[in-house]
């Protein structure tokens, strides 16, 4: 069982916005703002979309944004495009011996 809870699936139409939640405990997130998000298409390498809750690596579209409130982090994708259809995973640094914990993943379907 994954430590962070994500919805199994979300869907949206092209041009719409969607938000994927990622819920954990205070010990999962700790006092750190070290939440990251990954996009994963089966058979391909996962891609880092967001780090430190809301920062985007160079080359990642502005349509992807992250936030965190309490023990819930969120990934928002605006202006949905067909190419956004993928699995999305959240991840948090825990400062425990397990270092990081992932969410169970959310499958995004673009209708």
Residue-by-residue DSSP string for 36-93:
EEEEE-TTS--EEEEBTTTB--TT--TTEEEEEETTEEEEEE-S--GGG-EEEEEEEE
Per-residue binding letters, 42-61, with other proteins (x by CB under 8 A): -xxxxxx--xx----x----
> In whole angstroms, what is the distance from residue 65 CA to residue 19 CA?
9
Residues near other proteins (CB under 8 A), total: 27
Place of tokens 């962070």: 4
Per-residue binding letters, 61-100, with other proteins (x by CB under 8 A): ----------------------------x-x-x---xxxx
Q: Does 107 bind other proteins (CB under 8 A)?
A: no
Does residue 105 come out as left (phi exceeding 0), alpha (psi in the -120 to 50 range) or beta?
Answer: left
Q: Does 10 bind other proteins (CB under 8 A)?
A: no
CB of 15 to other proteins, least distance (A): 29
What length is written for the chain?
A: 111
CB of 32 to other proteins, least distance (A): 8
- Residues that bind other proteins in the complex, under the rule CB under 8 A: 2, 32, 34, 36, 38, 40, 43-48, 51-52, 57, 89, 91, 93, 97-105
């Amino acid at each position: 069982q994954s430590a962070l809870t994500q919805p199994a699936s979300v869907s949206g139409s092209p041009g719409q916005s969607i938000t994927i939640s990622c819920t954990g405990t205070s010990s999962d997130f700790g006092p750190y703002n070290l939440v990251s998000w990954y996009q994963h298409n089966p058979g391909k390498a996962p891609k880092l979309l967001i780090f430190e809750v809301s920062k985007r690596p160079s080359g990642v579209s502005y349509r992807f944004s992250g936030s965190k409130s309490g023990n819930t982090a969120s990934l928002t994708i605006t202006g949905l495009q067909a190419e956004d259809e993928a699995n999305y995973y959240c991840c948090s640094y825990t400062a425990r011996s397990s270092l990081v914990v992932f969410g169970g993943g959310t499958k995004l379907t673009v209708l």
